[in-house]
């Protein structure tokens, strides 16, 4: 490994915000480990970032699977010898159907990936970061606006994102003794495949269907880079980056 090379793991790195952040980290000179369930999008992210000259490692990973998470971090340690940054970004939603109609399996799938997956990755990151030299590192969690306020018919996603806030706080506290900083970025209406429906209209709390504005996901990547490149004695605990006119603040 090159001296002073910074190493990052990005989960959900094949598409959307994860891809944008991974590419931005490559431009900053990070070696980036690309994790996600599907190999092909991860390889596409690596190919898109090749011009940066930064090394990448593709590790197909289901973050809900403890064994797969252990492999991800073991391969990172073998390839690069350390870990400086974990971006817990992988996430899914359940179908937007009435709460009472959700199945146990639909609930569990969201919890397993969004919350348990973030915990498993955090745990493995701790095990590397506290024992490396120089010691410590940074964990950034993708919280979402849903960590503050729900959308209609979103109980599993909203619950996990509120849970992510608790995990962020606990990680921030428990990481102090190891020089591990942890913060959370809450993103509102970044333009990705997941938010494409926003422009066609999405359900509001009052039952209406309203088209919502979005913002370029590049702005999210810039915010994450700011958080990531702070020295470990400084931390952005929580940051909200959102489309200016989305109907969140006030009463819509």
Residue 2 within a domain: no
In 3D, which of 127, 125, 128, 112 has the Cα closest to residue 62?
112
Q: Which of 30, 104, 157, 226 is catalytic?
A: 157
CATH number at residue 201: 3.40.50.720
Residue 251 within a domain: no
| Structure confidence at residue 250 (pLDDT) | 78
Residue 72 within a domain: yes
Low-confidence ranges of the chain (pLDDT < 50): none
Cβ pair 127, 150 in contact under 8 A: no
The pTM of this model reads 0.95
Tell me the backbone φ, ψ of residue 192, rounded to 5 degrees.
-140, 180
Domain count, the chain: 1
| Structure confidence at residue 198 (pLDDT) | 76
| Structure confidence at residue 2 (pLDDT) | 66
Instruction: Return the structure tokens found at 142.
Output: 């993708």
Residue 250 within a domain: no
| Structure confidence at residue 194 (pLDDT) | 66
Residue 89 within a domain: yes
| Structure confidence at residue 252 (pLDDT) | 62
Cβ pair 57, 108 in contact under 8 A: no
Cβ pair 80, 5 in contact under 8 A: yes
> Is 157 annotated as catalytic?
yes
For residue 209, what are the β-bridge partners? 203
Range of the domain at 161: 7-242
| Structure confidence at residue 3 (pLDDT) | 62
Instruction: Return the structure tokens found at 102.
Output: 């959700």
Cβ pair 34, 87 in contact under 8 A: no
Residue 108 within a domain: yes
Residue 249 within a domain: no
Residue 1 within a domain: no
């Amino acid at each position: 490994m090159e001296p002073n090379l910074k190493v990052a793991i990005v989960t959900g790195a094949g598409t959307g915000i994860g891809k944008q952040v991974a590419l931005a980290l490559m431009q900053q000179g990070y070696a980036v480990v690309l994790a996600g369930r599907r190999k092909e999008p991860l390889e596409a992210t690596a190919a898109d970032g090749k011009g940066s000259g930064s090394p990448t490692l593709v590790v197909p990973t289901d973050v809900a699977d403890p064994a797969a998470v252990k492999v991800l971090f073991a391969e990172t340690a073998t390839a690069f010898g350390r870990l400086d940054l974990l971006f817990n970004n992988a996430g899914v939603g359940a179908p937007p159907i009435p709460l009472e109609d959700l199945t146990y399996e639909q609930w569990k799938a969201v919890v397993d990936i969004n919350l348990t997956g973030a915990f498993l990755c955090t745990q493995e990151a701790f095990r590397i970061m506290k024992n490396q030299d120089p010691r410590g590192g940074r964990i950034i969690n993708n919280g979402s606006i849903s960590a503050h306020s729900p959308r209609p018919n979103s109980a599993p996603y909203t619950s996990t994102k509120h849970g992510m806030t608790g995990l962020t706080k606990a990680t921030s506290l428990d990481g102090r003794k190891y020089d591990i900083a942890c913060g959370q970025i809450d993103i509102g209406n970044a333009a990705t495949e997941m938010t494409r429906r926003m422009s066609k209209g999405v359900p509001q709390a009052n039952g209406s269907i309203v088209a919502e504005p979005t913002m370029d996901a590049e702005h999210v990547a810039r915010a994450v880079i700011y958080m990531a490149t702070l020295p470990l004695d400084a931390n952005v605990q929580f940051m909200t980056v959102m489309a200016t006119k989305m109907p969140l603040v006030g009463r819509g």
